[in-house]
Structure 1
Amino acid sequence: MRAVHGHRAYEESAVVPSGPWRALTRELAEFLAPAVDTPGEVLVELVDVRSIDRTRLDRPGVTHLGRACSPADTLTTTPNHRDGRLIGLHLDNWDKLPYAAKHTGRRRLCVNLGPGARYLLVCDQDARAICRAVHSDFVSRYPHTDDLRSYVAEGLPLRCYRLRLDPGDGYVAPTEFLPHDGSTEGQRESTAVFWLGRWPQGAFAAANDG
């Protein structure tokens, strides 16, 4: 990972992947696989749009966030809506949770509507670990994207995973807890649609379940 400086398309100090991308090893994939008792609040899951029960999206506590159109071949996709500059890898803050509760936020459901493929970028250090690393008074903090930028500026270890989402694929991820963003690097433009909710592990079938 690296911080961006002096780039007109990005906010100053925005965090982006530095590459090159490498294939996931079998050993690492096994290490990352969740246990049956892994709390859904901190779990990243891939889903197939055909497996989504629409009634789950209309229940109390589920928020439809709308959709976003991402241009082609963009390393990261989320803009600052005030000036249009890209913010890079970031932490969501819909639930405005303090350090002690940051892992309890709602997860985001995203579905790629196409026409191009897109990627989920997600980091291997969570919001609380990052906050602890850069603040001595972390207990009183509200973990924020600025903490991630300070973490990278200090040269602390951070790995980014890239998960491909073809049209019709999606994810459920704790975007309040794990630094993340979308990407269309090397792909056509795509549109994604988003919801926030509290879904247990396995609420939607995995994209590779057939």
Structure 2
Amino acid sequence: MSLQVAFTSRAALKARTQVSGVRTVQDDNRFEDGAVVPDGLWSPLDDDLVDRIRADQSTADDVLVEVVGLESIDPDHLASPGVHELGRTFSIAQSATTTPNHQDGRLIGLHLNNWDELSYTSKHTGRRRLCVNLGPGTRYILLGDTDIQTICQAVREDHTTCNPHTDDLRCYVARGLPLQCLRIRLDPGEGYIAPTEFLPHDGSTEGQDESAAAFWLGRWAHGAMGSLL
């Protein structure tokens, strides 16, 4: 399974999305050694890639990526049973990725979340994360086009019994296996809903001013919060 994005307008998706390759980082004190980051050679989406990542009626809500606007988010969506508010974070300007580790503050690069503590066989069933850009600057969501189950199949003999981890993603990229990174622009008041337990991801303020973001975990049906695409 790959990245699956909900959209009805190809032009709207292309207008806010670019794609690049990835690399691992070594000997850079801003990042953990082995961190996976975009290579910075951003290109427009071609039609083949747009077709490949397009969600269809068979795409499960749990693995779907949606781009939404704050005005379409009903407060009831954030207070319904099972929704968990994760809080807010502040991201400095001009940062290729935004998530630090808690030990020394180094950036961890593209990674997988594990709030639901899911094994390989159930990793695709996790709650999705809602993020809203609070501004003042624009930011991006970075998304790998290959899911963690596929990644684990490629790098672990014990993949069927493993608990997928960011280290598996780092091993995959270090071996030169194929992974593309999409970045989707989110202006203030815009956000995403994405399966961050299932897809490599991070935030980015590359080329942008500082911004803050708010986050929630939950299970929301496709289209429940509208769409900007």
Which interval holds the TM-score relative to the shorter structure?
A: over 0.9
Residue number among 165, 186, 192 corresponding to 1:165 in the alignment: 186
Gaps of 5+ in 1: none
Matched, 1:116 2:137: yes
Corresponding residue for residue 137 of structure 1: 158
What's the offset of the Cα at 1:3? 0.5
| Local SS of the residue matching 1:148 | helix
- Conserved 8 A contact 1:39-1:200: no
Corresponding residue for residue 189 of structure 1: 210
| Local SS of the residue matching 2:202 | strand
| Local SS of the residue matching 1:45 | strand
Alignment of 1:81-96 (within 5 A): 81-96=102-117
Letter in 2 for 1:183: S
Matched, 1:68 2:89: yes
Corresponding residue for residue 119 of structure 2: 98
Matched, 1:43 2:64: yes
Residues 14-44 of structure 1, C-alpha deviations (whole Å, 9 max, x = no match):
0000021001123322332211231110111
| Local SS of the residue matching 1:162 | strand
Residues 52-77 of structure 1, C-alpha deviations (whole Å, 9 max, x = no match):
01111111110000000000000000
Residues 145-196 of structure 1, C-alpha deviations (whole Å, 9 max, x = no match):
0000000111101000010000011000000000000000000000000000
- What is the CA–CA distance in structure 2 between the aligned matches of 1:131 and 1:142, rounded to whole Å? 9
- What is the CA–CA distance in structure 2 between the aligned matches of 1:196 and 1:116, rounded to whole Å? 23
- What is the CA–CA distance in structure 2 between the aligned matches of 1:36 and 1:48, rounded to whole Å? 22
Residue number among 54, 57, 74 corresponding to 2:78 in the alignment: 57
TM-score of the pair, normalised by structure 2:
0.89
- What is the CA–CA distance in structure 2 between the aligned matches of 1:34 and 1:50, rounded to whole Å? 23
- What is the CA–CA distance in structure 2 between the aligned matches of 1:146 and 1:137, rounded to whole Å? 14
TM-score of the pair, normalised by structure 1:
0.97
What is the root-mean-square deviation in Å for CA atoms of aligned residues?
0.8
Deviating beyond 3 angstroms after TM superposition, the runs of 4 or more aligned structure 1 residues are none
- Conserved 8 A contact 1:114-1:191: yes
Identity of aligned residues (%): 59
Residues 121-152 of structure 1, C-alpha deviations (whole Å, 9 max, x = no match):
00011010011111011011001000000001
Gaps of 5+ in 2: 1-21
Corresponding residue for residue 178 of structure 1: 199
Letter in 1 for 2:123: K
- What is the CA–CA distance in structure 1 between the aligned matches of 2:161 and 2:47, rounded to whole Å? 39
Aligned residues: 208
| Local SS of the residue matching 2:62 | helix
- What is the CA–CA distance in structure 1 between the aligned matches of 2:51 and 2:111, rounded to whole Å? 26
Matched, 1:30 2:51: yes
What's the offset of the Cα at 1:204? 1.0
Corresponding residue for residue 39 of structure 2: 18
